[in-house]
Structure 1
Amino acid sequence: MHANAHRTRRSDGTTPRAPHPSLPAERLAAFSDAVVAIAITLLAIPLIDLVPDALEDGDSAVEVVTHHAASISSFLLSFVVIWRIWTVHHEVFPRTGEVSGRVAQINVLWLVCIVALPFPVEMISSYGAEPFVLAIYVAVLFASSIALAAMALILRRTGTRDTTPSRGTVEQVLGNATCLTVAFLLVLAAPQLGFWPLALLLVDGPALALARRLAPRKPGGDA
C-alpha cells in the first residue's frame, strides 16, 4: 500500500496536509553569509580588471584611479550598502532556532537582490548615474529591504517572545525599509539628486535611537 494510505484522515474524510518543512536558522544565516561574501567579491572583480586594461592603454597609475572614479565610487557605495543590509539581516535570526519554508523562500528573494546588485553597479560604471540606471540600482535595494522586513514580521508574529527578533530589531528592519522606500521614491521623482537619497540609510539608526529615548517606557515591554 502507498504511504498516503496510512495518513490519519479527518472526520470529513479529507487528509490533513503535512506540516511545512522547517530549516535551522543557523544554516540559513550561514548560507546567506556565504552568498553575501560572493556578491561583494563580484563587485570587486571589475576593479581588478581595470589595471591590465589601463596598462594596455598606456595609462599611468594615477590615471587608473582618475579615469575610473565612477567605477570606484560605485563599488565603495555598494560595499557599504551591502554591509549595512547584511548587518540588519544578521540581527533577525540569532534568537530563532528554526524558520519556516515561507521565511526560507523570502530569504531566497533577499539573496537574489544581493546577488543581482553587481549588475546595476556595473551599469553605473559604464553609463554613470543615468535616471534609469539609478532607478534599477535603488529598486534592487528597495526590494531587498522589503523582503527582509517581511521575514522579520513573520518571525515576530509566529514565534514566542524568547525565539523571535526583538522589538528593537524589528524596528530597525522597518526603519531600514522605510528609508529605502523614501530613497526609491526620491530617485524616481528627482533623479538629479543622484545617490544622495541613499544617505538616508545612515540616519535610520540614530533616528530610531532618538525615538526610543523620547518614547515613554512601558513596564514589561519587550527589549
Structure 2
Amino acid sequence: MVSPYSEDIFMSDSTPPLRAERLTFFSDAVAAIALTLLVLPLVELVPEAIEDGETPAELVGHHVVPFASFLLSFFVIWRIWTVHHQLFDRVESIDHRVVRINSLWLLCVVVLPFPAEMVGAYGDEPLVIALYIGVLLASSITLTVLATALRRINPAESSPPRTSLEQLVGNAVCLALALVLAMAIPGAGYWPLLLLLADGPVLALVRRRRSRPS
C-alpha cells in the first residue's frame, strides 16, 4: 500500500514552486537545536567534577580540549547558518530540488555535534580529524550546490548574489585543502583549519583585480 504522503515526498521538480519562508524557519530551528546539543557534554562535566572533588579552576583546566571544541563548533555552525540565511534573504519561492539539497545540509548540521564530541574525547586522532573536517567540507559543498540551485530557479533580483556563491566555493576549497594537509602532515592536527581565515582576503583581492579596467 502506498503512503498518502509518498506523492508529496517524491513529487517531481515540475510541480508549482513552494514558499521559501517555511523552509528557512525549519532550518533555523534545526540549527538552533544543533547549537544547543553542543553544550550538553560540557554541562555533564559539572556533576562529574563535583563528585571527583575538583575546583572550578581544575574543571576548566582538565577539559581545555572539550571547551575549545565547543567554541570552534559553535562558531562553525553559526557561520554556516549565517551563509544559509544570506542565501535565502531575497528568495521567495523554491522547488523540491532545493528542499532535498537543503535536507542534506541540515543532515550535516545535525551530525556536527557528534565529531565535535569526539574531538573533545579523542583529541587529534587522525580518524577524528578526518571526520570533523569532512563534515564541515560536506556542509560547505552542500551549501554551494544549494546556492547554485537557487540562482537557477529565481530571477536575478531575488536570487543569491554571485558574491555569496564565490564565498562558498572559496570556503569549500579551503576546507578541502585543510583536510588534505591534516591527513598528509603528521602532527598537523586542526591547525590547517586556519585556512578558513584566508578565503575572505583572497576573494577580496580577486574581486579588486577583476574590477580594475583592463
1:111 aligns to what? 106
2:79 aligns to what? 84
User: What amino acid does structure 2 have at the position aligned with 1:122?
Assistant: E
Residues 9-48 of structure 1 correspond to what in structure 2 (within 5 A)? 19-20=14-15, 22-48=17-43
Output the TM-score relative to the length of structure 2.
0.89
1:71 aligns to what? 66
User: What amino acid does structure 2 have at the position aligned with 1:185?
Assistant: V
**1:203 shift after superposition:** 2.0
More helix by share: 2
Query: Relative to structure 1, is the Cα distance of residues 68 and 106 closer, same or farther in structure 2, using a 3 angstrom cutoff?
Result: same
Q: State the distance in 1 between where 2:94 and 2:110 align.
A: 22
Query: Relative to structure 1, is the Cα distance of residues 58 and 44 closer, same or farther in structure 2, using a 3 angstrom cutoff?
Result: same
User: What amino acid does structure 2 have at the position aligned with 1:104?
Assistant: V
Q: State the distance in 1 between where 2:161 and 2:117 align.
A: 37
**1:74 shift after superposition:** 0.5
1:5 aligns to what? none
Give the unaligned 5+ runs of structure 2: 1-11
2:196 aligned residue (198, 201, 204):
201
Output the TM-score relative to the length of structure 1.
0.85
2:9 aligns to what? none
Count of aligned pairs between the two proteins: 202
1:126 aligns to what? 121
Residue pair 1:54, 1:64 contacting (<8 A) in 2 also: yes
Query: Relative to structure 1, is the Cα distance of residues 145 and 18 closer, same or farther in structure 2, using a 3 angstrom cutoff?
Result: closer
User: What amino acid does structure 2 have at the position aligned with 1:100?
Assistant: D
3-state SS of paired residue (1:31):
helix
> Rg: which structure is higher?
1
| Between 62-71 and 179-188, the greater mean CA deviation after superposition | 179-188
3-state SS of paired residue (1:141):
helix
Runs of 4 or more consecutive aligned structure 1 residues displaced over 4 Å after TM superposition? none
User: What amino acid does structure 2 have at the position aligned with 1:110?
Assistant: W
Give the unaligned 5+ runs of structure 1: 1-16, 219-223
Residue pair 1:25, 1:98 contacting (<8 A) in 2 also: yes
Residue pair 1:70, 1:128 contacting (<8 A) in 2 also: yes
Residue pair 1:54, 1:60 contacting (<8 A) in 2 also: yes
1:147-188 Cα offsets, whole Å, 9 max, x none, are 100011112223221121111111111111111121122222
CA RMSD of aligned residues (A): 1.6
Residue pair 1:21, 1:101 contacting (<8 A) in 2 also: no
